[in-house]
Structure 1
Amino acid sequence: MATERYTIPSVVHACEILRLMANSEQGLSMQALEEALSLPRTTVFRLLKTLLAENLLEKRGKLYFSGASLLQLGLQVIHSDRLQHFAIPHIQRLALQTGYTAHLAVPNHGKALIVEVFDSPSPLMVSKRPGGEAQLHCSATGKVFLAFLYADNIELLMEEHPMEKHTDLTITEIDVLEKELSRVRAMGYAVDEREYNKDIRCVAVPVRDSMGTVVAALGITAPAAVFPKGNIQQVSDLVKEAARGIYKDTYQLDRAK
């Protein structure tokens, strides 16, 4: 009872909204939030406007989702989270196996956020550093998220994050992107075919949790000169094997429960 004397109702309601968002991958409408919180529309409206202004939420059409600032705050959790903990040896082994730089990325406010990197034995550093971001339409990890996590919101996402052209090979048309994502879903891996950097080729695969939801993407990055197209299938098999190892080590206990 004493604790309740010092609580601020609006902050409590804001926290309730954030918790609801965390448990809703498909987003929530204002009406759904009104019903869940049993609050007047005007109150919910003001709370949402405040959370949007602080980037703790983002709005796509009529639905609300967790925002960039909330996900950035979550990076501290990610760095101590068991996913990253168990992923590190697999990422390191993948870099040594392939001779290319290996990295782990998570979806973040319409971009792919790099959270772990192991450089290749080669002295040439070609991957973004932890904390760096990549656009979804022209990065291998980004295409993984578009294909397996955002399949129902691709057009809306591309409206909010226009498809910038980086090289002559960058996909900038939605119908071409849709065909590319169909290929990604069929093959189980995505390729950045010198679309972000004309001299760099990347491959990435999804990392799923115990419920089958894509929570990260595991990828490799290398100069196209030392990573020819003919090696893509072989390398993608190694990346898939590493992703399976991450899943097994991280989530096998969940499946056993």
Structure 2
Amino acid sequence: MERYLIPSVVHACEAFRLLTEHPNGMTAVQLEVALDLPRTTVFRLLRTLCAEQMVEKKGKKYICGMGLMNLGLQMINSDRLHQVAIPHVQRLALKSGHTAHLAVPNHGSSLIIEVFDSPHPLRVACRPGVRALMHCSSTGKVFLAFLYYEDLELLFADKALEQRTANSITDIGALRRELQRVVALGYAIDDREYHEDVRCLAVPVRDSRGVVVASIGITAPATAFPKSQIPVVAAMVKEAACGIYKDAFQMARQLEQSLA
């Protein structure tokens, strides 16, 4: 076994694999034999996994618990959400005339995972895989407002709010007030804060549980997207986010029914 591996975690993963291979469950004795572990070790392992709802005991047998199943469903839903979102991102770009994109929170940044370019020659391009600073990007502000608002000081404890342009917010207090507006309006604006002469707008995307898991938005030159268009564009982006939610919810229901 590699020196940096944690034995108890390895044993738990092995137990999960065994239980998924035995849908009718396994007894503690069967797990002892299969894992080649002392009875007391298996006992503590199973008690811990049951307490965390990763394993469930029915009679004398242990089966995969709801906690483990929910983790699996979340992983499936995350990938499915991306697939569900693609046509909505495309339609948003065509309808708004601006480059549309989908982003997810990723290790303190906003990660662009899908882009559909504006149909017009005058456009601002971004590519999947680009990470944006949260405090001065529209998608990042969405995540800060709906996921990390209570942890702003902790999130930025060891790093300053970088000033990308003269319009960038560099003060936690000002950022908090901005995020309150995001929640009240239901959308976030990057008003030439990340790049000079570029304006962006983004709204939250929720999964079938109502949890914000992504953000959809548009990016455009400020001359092509003046402030006067913000209400109209915001309505378009909200419509796209609502469509993603409805499709994700329907897909989740179908998945649950297939597993029932």
With the length of structure 2 as denominator, give the TM-score of the two structures: 0.69
Instruction: Give the drift of 1:85.
Output: 1.1
Match of 2:146?
148
Instruction: Give the drift of 1:252.
Output: 2.5
Secondary structure at the counterpart of residue 105 of structure 2: strand
Deviation string 1:5-24 (CA, Å, 9 cap, x unpaired) is: 9xx9726616969xxxxxxx
Q: Residue type of the partner of 1:207?
A: V
Match of 1:13?
9
Q: Contact between 1:163 and 1:172, CA under 8 Å: does it hold in 2? A: yes
> Between Structure 1 and Structure 2, how many residues are aligned?
196
Instruction: Give the drift of 1:248.
Output: 0.6
Q: 1:230 to 1:213 in 2, by over 3 A?
A: same
For 2:250 and 2:76, the matched residues in 1 are separated by 19
Q: 1:130 to 1:146 in 2, by over 3 A?
A: same
Instruction: Give the drift of 1:174.
Output: 0.5
Q: Residue type of the partner of 1:180?
A: E
Q: 1:15 to 1:204 in 2, by over 3 A?
A: farther
Q: 1:10 to 1:195 in 2, by over 3 A?
A: same
Name which of 195, 199, 213 aligns with 2:197.
Answer: 199
For 2:11 and 2:219, the matched residues in 1 are separated by 39
**Which structure 2 residues correspond to residues 234-245 of structure 1 after superposition, within 5 A?**
234-245=232-243
Instruction: Give the drift of 1:253.
Output: 4.1
Structure 2 unmatched runs, 5+:
14-46, 50-74
Name which of 117, 131, 134 aligns with 1:136.
Answer: 134
Secondary structure at the counterpart of residue 177 of structure 1: helix
Match of 1:123?
121
Deviation string 1:112-131 (CA, Å, 9 cap, x unpaired) is: 00000000012244232100
Secondary structure at the counterpart of residue 220 of structure 1: strand
Deviation string 1:131-189 (CA, Å, 9 cap, x unpaired) is: 00100000000000000011111111122442100111100000000000000000000
Structure 1 unmatched runs, 5+:
18-34, 38-76
CA RMSD of aligned residues (A): 2.8
**Which structure 2 residues correspond to residues 1-257 of structure 1 after superposition, within 5 A?**
10=6, 13=9, 81-254=79-252
For 1:98 and 1:104, the matched residues in 2 are separated by 15
For 1:196 and 1:253, the matched residues in 2 are separated by 35
Instruction: Give the drift of 1:198.
Output: 1.5
Q: 1:252 to 1:226 in 2, by over 3 A?
A: same
Q: Residue type of the partner of 2:161?
A: M
Secondary structure at the counterpart of residue 219 of structure 1: strand
Instruction: Give the drift of 1:86.
Output: 1.1
For 2:149 and 2:11, the matched residues in 1 are separated by 28
Q: 1:12 to 1:121 in 2, by over 3 A?
A: farther
Secondary structure at the counterpart of residue 214 of structure 2: strand
For 1:9 and 1:176, the matched residues in 2 are separated by 44
For 2:224 and 2:86, the matched residues in 1 are separated by 24
Q: 1:126 to 1:16 in 2, by over 3 A?
A: farther
